[in-house]
Chains A and B, each alone.
Chain A
Amino acid sequence: MILDPSTHRNLQSRKRFDALFAILCQSAAWVGVGLLVIFLTKIFIDGAGHLNWKFITSELSQRPGRTGIWPAVVGSLYVMILTTAISVPVGVAAAIYLEEFNRRKTKFINIVQLNIANLSGVPSVVYGLLGRVLFVYAFGFQQSIIAGALTMSLLILPTVIIVTQEALRAVPKSYRDCSMALGSTQWQAIRLQVLPNALPGILTGIILSISRAIGETAPLIVVGAASYVSFLPSSLGDKYTVLPIKIFDWANDSKNEFHSVAASAIIVLMVALLFINSFAIYFRARSQAKAKK
């Protein structure tokens, strides 16, 4: 039956289809890259003019020629550090609990798991609204940097938990069994065998989550990051602004000169994100190299 003459007759057209399909897939791959190149070129043409060290270290201003982004850079940095400090311990601990201490999948655990998976898909602005009700009003933090950081922590927490769980799952069960067969407690097995082996995966996931948090605008608008601050935040209760908010504001300003200022700020934000993401790639590469040994 393999040499069915009808199949043979179609060979030519099937090969043609094959070639066409390959071209289609290839162009699909290039669409993303092409659009990105166009976007980046436009941003660089618009934004390169303003970009210099003084732009990064100057204060915010309502005059396009004079403005800098320093308060926004510092604000973004603080939000990032606080978000990491809050979400990483909680997220990693929750993942250890779910993965290691609850091998028997009870109904309860299933519900928790389902919730976390769903929460990671909730739009970010919803977290903003939650943060506004909870942190800004109920906890009385007002429009402070801690309220913003807590909201961002909520936002990335489900992702941190999920990636940590996956990293833990990738550690072979035999490691735990070995350790416990030698008389260690479960905690010792996790501490000495599982966590060190899962660490690169966990770090990669965390870094990618954080870089998402840096680029987020919507939740911070809702929890009240300011458009103009005349100062650098110095305590957790201070008001603040972040880079994406300023980009959003400037892109919408009535003065056209501000649109190119927005482009410059986008370049700064993108370089920062690239830097952070390359860390993630470095960790992944290192863990893969280790695994090969």
Chain B
Amino acid sequence: MSSLRAWTIGSFFTLAITLIGCSGGGSGANSSENPTPSGNTASNEPAGGSKPATGDVNIDGSTTVYPIVSVLAEDFQKDNAGVKVTVNKSGTGSGMKKFIAGEIDIATASRAIKDDEVKSLADKKIDFIEIPVAYDGVSIIVNKGNTWAKDITTDELKKAWSKDSTVATWDQINAKFPKEKITFYGPTDNHGTYEYFTEAINGKKNEIRKEYQPNQEYTAIVTSVAGDKGGMAFVGYNYYADNKDKVNALTVGGVAPDEKTIADGTYKPLSRPLFLYVNKASLAKPNVKKFVDYALGEKGKDAVKEAKYVLFSDALMKMIQDHVNGGMTGTMMKDFKPGMKLDDVYSKK
């Protein structure tokens, strides 16, 4: 008898869902390309709390900045139990889109904010605060078996990477190099690194040679170059620093990418600042404010070092702190060109 009872109870349940299921199965036929019916039925589920709680800190954006911010978030969490911090890394461009849509409190970026992004934010009446957090040096990596190339000039880089480049072998870059086939690797166009590199080397953002193998993940790029004798790629400094046993970095115009040359700007024009963009309205949330202060303090420095990026000078840090504490909104980077130094930008005002 007990099994009969179970079936009776079960049958009521099944009856209820059959009604839902019928309407679901039915409307599915009307729109073949858009299977929404189960979505409608599923909205019967208690969809509580679609709005984030006020105590949350939501961060998204650059893959390059992720190692810094996730270390910060972890330490912040330890010192401030109970705060919900979420960090994502969908790429600088994608993060900016979410920032403009008001979905996140902080966008991380491996390039300065663009004019059209500033405009979109203004349209949405979102005030933002710009915080540079560290320097990165875009590194040109080659295979360990590449015994010929040690140094490359910016002109040679331009020759190889520019939009109309037909360079296919190393000797076409420099006659001293052997006739070895080159394969060009690098990040996809949603990466700030891609935008920065193309602007710095080719003179125009987002223009690159035709035969180019883009990848969303830097580790895959490093692996490709490590397995390809003639390969060449550009990656963030930490991907070179963490993989020195697998790939070599070329010096650019005689300067090797290291902490000193990136910090003092002699690694030109490929050293670049990394940014956090904070929604000013979010700063009213105590936890977001606390997180920003945390990032600007000693813990921020530790995170930058741990993520193998390059610290700003104390003087520059002080200027940035004053800028943020003064509640200055908008971007300082409007006229910034690759190769320029942040110290000059910040001391100018």
The residues of A with any CB-CB pair to B shorter than 8 Å are 60-63, 82, 85-87, 89-94, 96-98, 108, 111-112, 115-116, 119, 130, 134-135, 139-144, 146, 150, 153-154, 157, 187, 191-192, 195-196, 224, 226-231, 235-239, 249, 251-256
- The residue in chain A whose Cβ has the minimal distance to the Cβ of B68 is A62
- The residue in chain B whose Cβ has the minimal distance to the Cβ of A119 is B35
23 A-B pairs (CB sep. < 8 Å): A62-B67, A89-B17, A89-B20, A90-B41, A96-B18, A96-B21, A112-B29, A141-B50, A144-B49, A144-B50, A146-B45, A157-B35, A187-B15, A224-B88, A228-B87, A228-B88, A230-B83, A231-B84, A237-B48, A237-B50, A238-B49, A239-B58, A254-B67
The residues of A that contact B74 with a CB separation of less than 8 Å are: 60-63, 228, 230
Given contacts A228-B86, A254-B239, contact A142 B17 (CB under 8 A): no
Q: Say yes or no: A226 contacts B88, CB within 8 Å.
A: yes
- The residue in chain A whose Cβ has the minimal distance to the Cβ of B80 is A230
Interface 9-mer from B110-118, B216-224, B315-323: B216-224
Q: Say yes or no: B14 contacts A93, CB within 8 Å.
A: yes
Give the number of A-B contacts (CB < 8 Å): 176
The residues of B that contact A187 with a CB separation of less than 8 Å are: 11, 15
Q: Say yes or no: B25 contacts A92, CB within 8 Å.
A: no
> B45 contacts which of A86, A116, A157, A230 (Cβ < 8 Å)?
A86
Q: Say yes or no: B14 contacts A191, CB within 8 Å.
A: yes
> A227 contacts which of B34, B47, B66 (Cβ < 8 Å)?
B66
Q: Say yes or no: A115 contacts B20, CB within 8 Å.
A: no
The residues of B that contact A253 with a CB separation of less than 8 Å are: 219
Q: Say yes or no: A228 contacts B18, CB within 8 Å.
A: no
Q: Say yes or no: A140 contacts B7, CB within 8 Å.
A: no
> A229 contacts which of B22, B85, B243 (Cβ < 8 Å)?
B85
The residues of B with any CB-CB pair to A shorter than 8 Å are 7, 11, 13-15, 17-22, 24-26, 28-29, 32, 34-36, 38-39, 41-43, 45-52, 56, 58, 66-67, 70-71, 73-74, 76-77, 83-90, 103, 217-220, 222, 238-239, 241-243, 306, 308
Given contacts A94-B21, A230-B73, A237-B51, contact A85 B86 (CB under 8 A): no
The residues of B that contact A87 with a CB separation of less than 8 Å are: 38
State in angstroms the CA–CA spacing of A253 and B307 once bound together. Answer: 11
Q: Is the interface of B mostly helix, strand, loop or mixed?
A: helix
Q: Say yes or no: A150 contacts B39, CB within 8 Å.
A: yes
> A97 contacts which of B18, B39, B85, B88 (Cβ < 8 Å)?
B18
- The residue in chain B whose Cβ has the minimal distance to the Cβ of A144 is B50
Q: Say yes or no: A135 contacts B39, CB within 8 Å.
A: yes
State in angstroms the CA–CA spacing of A252 and B19 once bound together. Answer: 46
State in angstroms the CA–CA spacing of A108 and B26 once bound together. Answer: 9
- The residue in chain A whose Cβ has the minimal distance to the Cβ of B22 is A97
Given contacts A111-B29, A227-B88, A227-B89, contact A254 B17 (CB under 8 A): no
| Min CB–CB distance A290 → chain B (angstroms) | 14
Interface contacts beyond A239-B56, A252-B217: sample of 9 additional A-B pairs, CB < 8 Å, sorted by A: A82-B45, A92-B17, A153-B42, A195-B14, A228-B88, A230-B77, A237-B48, A237-B51, A254-B222
Given contacts A191-B11, A228-B87, A254-B238, contact A115 B32 (CB under 8 A): yes
The residues of B that contact A227 with a CB separation of less than 8 Å are: 66, 70, 87-89
